[in-house]
C-alpha cells in the first residue's frame, strides 16, 4: 500500500503539463520534507476525527504524530465538521447516503497503473462529492479543473457508478489554514470526455517517456527540478534578456524581471541544495568545496542548566503569554472567544508586489492616500 504510482493523482498537474517529467524523475529518490510529513500527520488526524464523528471505530493517532499541535487538531476538527455537514445535507434528500473515508481508487482504465486514495467520498441521489484535505498554507489550491480531484472522481466512478447511477460530480478542496473551501461541479459525461481525450493522450505519453518538456508552477514538486535542462534553459534566458542600452531599467523591463523573479529564485535555490547534497556524497564541482557553516552556541542539557541557575537563586525561565493557537487549545474555542475576542487584532500585512490577477484588493499606498486627500 506504500507504493506510489508513476502517474499518481497528486502529481498529475505536473505530468499532464510536462509528460516526460514522469520518467525523468523516476530514478531520483524521493527525499520527502518536513512539510510532507506534516501533511501526512494532518491527514491521519483528519481521518480519525471524521471517523469518530461518523461513529466508525478508529484508533487515535495523536501520540504517534511528530507534527501534532493545537492548530493541526483545530484544522482536523473543522474538516470533520465540514464533511459531516455535507452528509447531513445529503440526508435531506437521501435517507442513507454513502460515506467512504480514505477510499483507495483505481483509474488505470485511463492512466497506466494509476491509483490513489481519496480522503472522503459522499454519494447521494445521483451526485458524488469527492473531498480532499490540504494542510499546506503556501499556495491556495482550487478545485476548478483540478486533475488530482478529477482522477479521484474517475476512480470512484469505476467502483460506484454502476451501483448508484451517478450523474453529477462535485469536487471540494478543504484548506483550512488559508480559509479556502473551493468547490467545482461537472457532469459525469464531461468528466468521461476529458478522461477519454486529453487525459488518456497525455498519460500514454508520460508513461512512455514521450511528449514535450514544459516549465511552469508544476516544476516545484518535480524530483528532477534541479537538474532539468529545460528548466535551466528557461531560467537562464533571463540572463540573456535584451535590455535597452540606457543606464537604468524602465518599468517594462523591471516588470519582465518580476515575471520571472520567483521562479528564478526557486530554481537557484533548488540547484544549490542539489549541488550540496551531491558534494556531500563526493561529487566535485570546479571551483567549490564543502566547509563547515556557522553555528550558534546552545546548552547541552537545558534541564541541568535550569537547575544550576535556580540553585544559585536566579529565575532561568522567560515568561510570556501563550500564542493564539496554544491559548485557544488551553481555553477551548468558545471560552477563548468569550474571554479574549475583544483583545485579538489582526495588524495590516506588509506591502507585497504581486501580479494583477491576484485576488487580493489593491492596498492603499502613501501616494494613493495623498491623492484621496487632495
Find the angle CA(130)-CA(136)-CA(140) to the nearest 5 degrees.
70
Find the angle CA(360)-CA(364)-CA(368) to the nearest 5 degrees.
135
Domains of the chain and any CATH numbers: 12-208 (3.90.320), 225-244+253-291 (no CATH)
Average pLDDT, integer, range 158-186: 93
Position 174 pLDDT exceeds 90: yes
At 82, the pLDDT band (50, 70, 90 cuts) reads very high
Residue 239: per-residue pLDDT: 64
Residue 153: name the closest of 171, 140, 137 by CA.
171
Position 89 pLDDT exceeds 60: yes
Residues 128, 168: contact at Cβ < 8 Å?
yes
Angstrom distance (rounded) from CA 292 to CA 278: 16
Residues 199-211: pLDDT tens digits? 999 999 999 999 9
Average pLDDT, integer, range 167-172: 96
At 1, the pLDDT band (50, 70, 90 cuts) reads very low
- For residue 350, CA distances in Å to 69, 123, 353, 365 come to 27, 44, 10, 11
At 366, the pLDDT band (50, 70, 90 cuts) reads low
Q: Is the dihedral of CA 188, 189, 190, 191 positive or negative?
A: positive
Position 176 pLDDT exceeds 50: yes
Q: Is the dihedral of CA 325, 78, 8, 138 positive or negative?
A: negative
Residue 245: per-residue pLDDT: 62
Average pLDDT, integer, range 100-108: 95
At 335, the pLDDT band (50, 70, 90 cuts) reads very high
Dihedrals phi, psi of 58, to nearest 5 degrees: -160, 145
Residue 360: per-residue pLDDT: 83
For β-strands 180-187 and 168-175, DSSP reports them as antiparallel
Residues 26-65: pLDDT tens digits? 888 877 788 889 999 999 999 999 999 999 999 999 999 9
* Greater pLDDT, 372 or 155: 155
Find the angle CA(46)-CA(48)-CA(53) to the nearest 5 degrees.
95
Exposure string for 139-155, b = 16+ CB within 10 A, e = fewer:
eebebeebbbbbbbbbb
At 94, the pLDDT band (50, 70, 90 cuts) reads confident
Position 120 pLDDT exceeds 50: yes
Strands (DSSP E) found in the chain: 98-106, 115-124, 127-133, 168-175, 180-187
Residue 2: per-residue pLDDT: 45
Amino acid at each position: 500500500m506504500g507504493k506510489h504510482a508513476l502517474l499518481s493523482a497528486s502529481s498529475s498537474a505536473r505530468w499532464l503539463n510536462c509528460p516526460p517529467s514522469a520518467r525523468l524523475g523516476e530514478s531520483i529518490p524521493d527525499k520527502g520534507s518536513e512539510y510532507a510529513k506534516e501533511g501526512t500527520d494532518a491527514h491521519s488526524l483528519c481521518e480519525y476525527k471524521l471517523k469518530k464523528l461518523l461513529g466508525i471505530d478508529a484508533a487515535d493517532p495523536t501520540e504517534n504524530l511528530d507534527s501534532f499541535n493545537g492548530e493541526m487538531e483545530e484544522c482536523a476538527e473543522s474538516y470533520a465538521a465540514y464533511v459531516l455537514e455535507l452528509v447531513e445535507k445529503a440526508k435531506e434528500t437521501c435517507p442513507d447516503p454513502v460515506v467512504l473515508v480514505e477510499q483507495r481508487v483505481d483509474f488505470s482504465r485511463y492512466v497506466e497503473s494509476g491509483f490513489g486514495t481519496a480522503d472522503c467520498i459522499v454519494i447521494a441521489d445521483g451526485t458524488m462529492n469527492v473531498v480532499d484535505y490540504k494542510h499546506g498554507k503556501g499556495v491556495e489550491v482550487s478545485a476548478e479543473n483540478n486533475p488530482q480531484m478529477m482522477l479521484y472522481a474517475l476512480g470512484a466512478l469505476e467502483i460506484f457508478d454502476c451501483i448508484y447511477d451517478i450523474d453529477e460530480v462535485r469536487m471540494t478542496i478543504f484548506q483550512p489554514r488559508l480559509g479556502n473551501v473551493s468547490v467545482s461541479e461537472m457532469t459525469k459525461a464531461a468528466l468521461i470526455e476529458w478522461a477519454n481525450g486529453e487525459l488518456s493522450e497525455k498519460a500514454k505519453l508520460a508513461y512512455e517517456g514521450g511528449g514535450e518538456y514544459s516549465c511552469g508552477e508544476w516544476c516545484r514538486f518535480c524530483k528532477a527540478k534541479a537538474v532539468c535542462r529545460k528548466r535551466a534553459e528557461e531560467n537562464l534566458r533571463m540572463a540573456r534578456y535584451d535590455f535597452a542600452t540606457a543606464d537604468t531599467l524602465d518599468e517594462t523591463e523591471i516588470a519582465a524581471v518580476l515575471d520571472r523573479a520567483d521562479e528564478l529564485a526557486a530554481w537557484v535555490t533548488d540547484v544549490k541544495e542539489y549541488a550540496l547534497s551531491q558534494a556531500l556524497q563526493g561529487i566535485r564541482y570546479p571551483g567549490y568545496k564543502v566547509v563547515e557553516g556557522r553555528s550558534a552556541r546552545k546548552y547541552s542539557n537545558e534541564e541541568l542548566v535550569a537547575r544550576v541557575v535556580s540553585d544559585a537563586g536566579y529565575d532561568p525561565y522567560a515568561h510570556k503569554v501563550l500564542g493564539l493557537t496554544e491559548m485557544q487549545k488551553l481555553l477551548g474555542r468558545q471560552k477563548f472567544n468569550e474571554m479574549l475576542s475583544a483583545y485579538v487584532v489582526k495588524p495590516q500585512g506588509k506591502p507585497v508586489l504581486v501580479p494583477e490577477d491576484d485576488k487580493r484588493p489593491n492596498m492603499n499606498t502613501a501616494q494613493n492616500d495623498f491623492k484621496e486627500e487632495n
